[in-house]
Amino acid sequence: MSDRFSRQRGLLRQTVVEQIHLTLAPEDFPSSFVEAMTCLGEQLGAMPHSKAKVPGGFQVQWGPSSQVNEDHSSLQVNYGANGIFLDGQEAGEPIDPVYEPAVSTLAACLVWSEILRRAEAYLPIEIPKISVSVNVRVNENSLYNNASQLKFTLDGHRVHQNIRDADDGTMHRRVLMRIDDDDPLVHELIKKLNVHLPEHTIEMRTPVLPLSLPPLKPDLHGHLSVVGAGGLGTWCLHTLVEGMKHAKTSDVRFLVFDKDLEIEEHNLNRQVIYGPEDVGSTKIAATRRWLEQRLPNAHIETAYELIDAMAHPVEEASDDGIDLDDLFEPSSETSEVEEDTLTVQ
C-alpha cells in the first residue's frame, strides 16, 4: 500500500489519526507553537485544529497551572528558558526568538505524541511491512510434474508466486501467491487489520523536558554540515532556518549530504521541507532549492550533490557536485589488492 502514509501505518493506526479532533485557540498561544502544531498535524494526516471544542476531541491549553488536570482529553503546555512542561510548571523567562522554532517544535512533538497515545493511535508493535497472500498447500506425490512447473493465478488479480516446502513431515509444498500491493483488495484488507494489547489501559502522562540554552550572539555565522536530508536532517534544517530569520545578521554556509536519488511520496509525511512538487527530485537538489527560497539574504553555499562511485559514474556527475576525496589530504601510502580479493562495485 504505497502512499504518503505507507511507512507511518507501521507505527500508527492511520484511521484513528485522521479522526482526531483538536481544539487550539491560536490567540492564546505563541505563533511559533501554533505553526509547529499545524505543521506536525499536516505531517501526521490529522484534521486541522479548530477553536471550538468538539465532543470526544482533545483540547490544548497554554500556560502554567497550579491545578492537576485530570481530564483525559485536555493537555496543558508551557515552554520557556527552563524547558518544556506539560505538567503545569512555570517555564521561566521567554526564550530567544532564534531558539523558539526548535523549542516550539519539540513542544508540539510532546503534545502530539501524548494525544496519539491517549487516542490509542499507536500500534503496540512496529509493523514495517504488510502483504496479503493466498496460501495453497499441494501434494506433489499426486502429480507427474513438480509444483514449480505449474502457474497459479487469481482471476482479476496480479500475484507474485513463491513455492516452499511445508516442513511439517507431510512432504507437501506451499504455494504462496502474494497479491500486488496496489491491488484494491489489498488496500481494503489492510484497513481492516487491527493489533491490540489485551487488558491494556492508557494512563495520563505529563512529560517535561528541562532545557539550559546558552545565550546567543546577535550575529550568527559559521559552517553547518548536514549528513542525511531525511527524517532528522530536514527537521534540523527547518527549525534552524526558521530561527535564523530572527537573527540580526547571519552568514552560514551549508553543506548537505544525501545519497537518495529520488524523493518518493512516502517521504512527504516526515521529511518536512519537501512537497509534492519535489517527488522525483534528488533530496540534495530539493534541499538546495528550499534553502535558497527561505534565506535569500543570507550567504548560502551548498554542496547539493555527493559523488559516489556506487551511485553515479564520476563522468556523469554534475559540475556543482563534490567528490569526498577532495575533502581529505591524499595519503602517501598505497594499498595493494591481493589477487584473490573479491571487489564489489
> 3-state SS string over the chain?
CCCCCCCHHHCECHHHHCCCCEECCHHHCCHHHHHHHHHHHHHHCCCCCECCCCCCCEEEEECCCCCCCCCCCEEEEEEECCEEECCCCCCCCCCCCCCHHHHHHHHHHHHHHHHHHHCCCECCCCCCCCCCEEEEEECHHHCCCCHHHCCCCECCECEEEEEEECCCCCCCEEEEEEECCCCHHHHHHHHCCCCCCCCCCCCCCCCEEECCCCCCCCEEEEEEEEECCCCCHHHHHHHHHHHHCCCCEEEEEEEEECCCCCCCHHHCCCCCCCCHHHCCCCHHHHHHHHHHHHCCCCCCCCCCCEECCCCCCHHHCCCCCEEHHHHCCCCCCCCCCCCCCCCCC
Write the pLDDT tens digit of every residue in 111-142.
Answer: 999 999 999 999 999 998 889 999 999 988 87
What is the rounded average pLDDT for all residues in the chain?
Answer: 83
Is residue 185 predicted with pLDDT exceeding 70? yes
The burial class, CB within 10 Å (0-12 / 13-18 / 19+), for 253 is middle
pLDDT for 254-273, tens place per residue?
A: 888 888 778 988 888 889 99
* Torsion sign over Cα 212, 215, 216, 218: positive
- pLDDT > 90 in the chain, percent: 46
Our measurement of the distance from residue 158's CA atom to the centroid of its chain's CA atoms, rounded to an integer in Å, reads 30
pLDDT tens by residue, 189-205: 988 888 989 988 888 89
Per residue in 287-319, pLDDT tens?
A: 888 988 988 766 665 554 555 443 444 434 444
Q: Give the residue among 211, 310, 323 at the shortest CA–CA distance from 257.
A: 323
203 in Cβ contact with 76 (< 8 Å): no
C-alpha cell of residue 186: 489489498
Q: Per-residue pLDDT averaged across 58-62, rounded?
A: 94
Supply the pTM of this predicted model.
0.79
Could you tell me the three cell numbers for 148? 514449480
CA-to-CA separations, 150 to 134, 155, 173, 175, 176, in angstroms, rounded: 16, 16, 12, 10, 13
Q: What is the mean pLDDT of residues 28-43?
A: 94
Residue with cell 484497513: 191
Angle at 163 between CA 157 and CA 168, to 5 degrees: 125
φ, ψ for residue 263 (rounded to 5)?
-80, 130
Structure confidence at residue 19 (pLDDT): 94
